[in-house]
Structure 1
């Protein structure tokens, strides 16, 4: 196929409305497979991919996922992992802007899921996110939401430890209710004092809101002393998980530790799931919130 033919193919795919997006997605995949990915590192590599059925998000579902970076992972695969559970809101950590843009694109074109995005970047890192030395990619957190987001706040912690870290917050709709959603990534392991200071900054802001969802990779097990402030403000989505060695907390990492949390403040959950994935060393964690 000539390049001009591929352009016609994509153009024809784009004229369909949501009711025919499944066909549009199939046409777009065919074009990309024939003429190659539209940007380096998009991860298709010319292989044949199934197109999932077009469907809507689960309106009361929130998800947190450290997508692993740097890792040789296809953004097509990352999008498919998210689409399998179709959350209303997703908090991503260790995210590059370029990767998030691709993930959003594939979620829409291949799966019929349309998301808004807000970023909370803390680094401009050529080594992690590619680009060129004078224009490196941005690295940090991102929130995808099926509903529009407002009042974005982005805070870099005063002390990041071995790498800059921060949190972001947005207000959006989950289960038909307006909710303040936080997304964070705390300092790496063996930096307990740094994490304690970071949680102090985060918890002070969370405490200002009557209802909040706090997503993220806290790099700490549930009974770690530095998590005390969070446990005072919120509960884990898993009602069995407690800040004590006796708590039955399901691991969220390949090394069998619980580092990833959906903390809920004045909100209850209906169910949750931890899903291991070959796309990251952290598992997907999602919860369906009680909209009442």
Structure 2
């Protein structure tokens, strides 16, 4: 029989081991965050989402996964995404919430400061698309001029609303680089125009009435019908500094509803749109 002193010693050792393992384990690896009561419990088909997850930010990929799982979109576009973070997010979504996603990457640079790794083999950084349905025909494009940092877009084909749709995910040049963004939009819009049905997700780093967005707005409709490039437009902010920089643009697809969801785990809010199914 094990004595009381032995049991106490064993318990103390377990607590000590957890204290040691916790910080060195992958972020959020020991405990899952509970979902809110109102969270959905399965993939919401015909729902798409865009989210700049913030980088470099010392946030838990388990918490990021819980934010996504709360709304469980069919298609997710992530910006400022490191491949290793996306891999962990996808693993958490499946193992903890039963949400299974395919993933395609649109990395545009390798950066040790942003994505870790080792100096001679840094992590890959850029965009990623997660989708509940398989994706094909991935194209990764780096803009000819990224501005102060390399930028680009990734595009895939997947099934949404029962039909094949081309999905784009982009991140445009930083603020105060309007001319650079205008050229980037020209590159993006030329490709979007090739498709009758397209979804364009991303962080455009520009407010709705910014002139550089004209090219993409002429081809698409905003999933938020109130968010128009006019004085009559009413746009919910999608950043902590109260600007609308994040969008879901639709071509040949009808929006039904949308939602903007502030998050403590990024300086950008999650933006989702529910789309009308196609007969």
Task: Please report the TM-score for the alignment, with normalisation by the length of structure 1.
Answer: 0.85
Select which of 33, 40, 48 maps to 1:62: 48
* Offset at residue 291 of structure 1 (A): 1.2
* Offset at residue 56 of structure 1 (A): 2.6
Query: 1:1-292 alignment to 2 at 5 Å?
Result: 36=21, 42-44=26-28, 46-47=30-31, 49-50=33-34, 55-292=41-278
Alpha-carbon distance between aligned partners in 2 of 1:201 and 1:50, rounded to the nearest angstrom:
42
From the superposition, tell whether residues 251 and 173 of structure 1 become closer, same or farther in structure 2 (CA, over 3 Å).
same
Asked if the contact 1:122–1:164 (Cα under 8 Å) also holds between the matched residues in 2, the reply is yes
Q: Which has the larger radius of gyration?
A: 2
Which sits farther off after the overlay, 239-248 or 200-209?
Answer: 239-248
Give ranges in structure 1 of 5+ residues lacking alignment: 1-32
Secondary structure at the aligned position of 2:218 is classed as: helix
* Offset at residue 174 of structure 1 (A): 1.5
* Number of aligned residues: 259
Asked if the contact 1:269–1:290 (Cα under 8 Å) also holds between the matched residues in 2, the reply is yes
From the superposition, tell whether residues 40 and 192 of structure 1 become closer, same or farther in structure 2 (CA, over 3 Å).
farther
Secondary structure at the aligned position of 2:129 is classed as: strand
* Offset at residue 175 of structure 1 (A): 2.5
Give ranges in structure 2 of 5+ residues lacking alignment: 1-17
Asked if the contact 1:51–1:110 (Cα under 8 Å) also holds between the matched residues in 2, the reply is no
Secondary structure at the aligned position of 1:209 is classed as: coil
Question: Could you say which residue in structure 1 is the equivalent of 2:5?
Answer: none
Asked if the contact 1:64–1:284 (Cα under 8 Å) also holds between the matched residues in 2, the reply is yes
* Offset at residue 55 of structure 1 (A): 3.9
| CA deviation vs aligned residue, 1:60-104 (integer Å, no higher than 9, x gap) | 100000000000100000000000001000000000000000000
Secondary structure at the aligned position of 1:43 is classed as: coil
* Offset at residue 42 of structure 1 (A): 2.7
Asked if the contact 2:40–2:72 (Cα under 8 Å) also holds between the matched residues in 1, the reply is no
